[in-house]
A and B are shown apart, each in its own frame.
Chain A
């Protein structure tokens, strides 16, 4: 499958992460792996895109991060969605839906 351009990836990243965190509390590595797995490798986060974005979402108070210690003693910074973050999902989805509809009307592209 052709890879999606960087700009579109960047724009869609917040929505993907927020949607994922709406279901689970996850740490950075898990977020990257789950998105990669769920999109069949089309969306792939490297560290340089993932962590600045997570910290930005945290600053916006859309996600909250807290350190959790696993039974093996290893600490992880886990992210969970806040009420404010949850409220962002619907408008972001609407924006993306409008974007795809606009693209569809121009290109004649249809979802499979």
Chain B
């Protein structure tokens, strides 16, 4: 009987998307698939190759892409990008409110009355780092 856990580990080396739990889950799926093919009358070698095909080449690429996609959507967007954008928006609003009240914050005064572009670019990064930390 092939060691599917080992095969999954070998096909997804060092990838954060492939946690021990996920490795075991994918391995049991492959084992079920392999056993179903065997019980369907396929010779062991063909069943093995057919099952292996699910996590090789295109299968592997798609699996990694989809998991990364999920990670980015749930992890990066929620944990970093949104807080970063909110920080920028809050800073813009605050700056605008100060300008309306004819108040100039000390940092603006130091920079000669105008906030440079790099300052605005730093804001989402600082917001994201704050959210992550």
Contacts and interface: CB of A to CB of B under 8 A. Distances in A.
Contact of B26 (A49, A51, A59, A74): A51
B22 interface: yes
Given A52-B70, A59-B74, A77-B21, A47 B63 contact: yes
A55 interface: yes
B20 to A, nearest CB: 12
Contacts of B69: 52
Main DSSP-derived SS at the A contact region = helix
Residue in B22, B28, B29, B31 whose Cβ sees the most chain A Cβ within 10 Å: B29
A64 interface: no
A29 B35 CA distance: 12
Interface stretch (B54-62, B86-94, B105-113, B123-131): B54-62
Nearest to A77: B25
Interface in B3-60: 21-22, 24-26, 28-29, 31-33, 36, 54-55, 59
A36 B40 CA distance: 16
B40 to A, nearest CB: 12
8 closest cross-chain pairs (CB), A and B: A48-B62, A52-B66, A29-B32, A48-B63, A77-B25, A52-B70, A29-B29, A52-B67
28 contacts: A27-B28, A28-B25, A28-B28, A28-B29, A29-B29, A29-B32, A29-B33, A32-B29, A47-B26, A47-B29, A47-B59, A47-B63, A48-B59, A48-B62, A48-B65, A48-B66, A49-B62, A49-B66, A51-B26, A51-B63, A52-B66, A52-B67, A56-B74, A59-B70, A75-B28, A77-B21, A77-B25, A77-B28
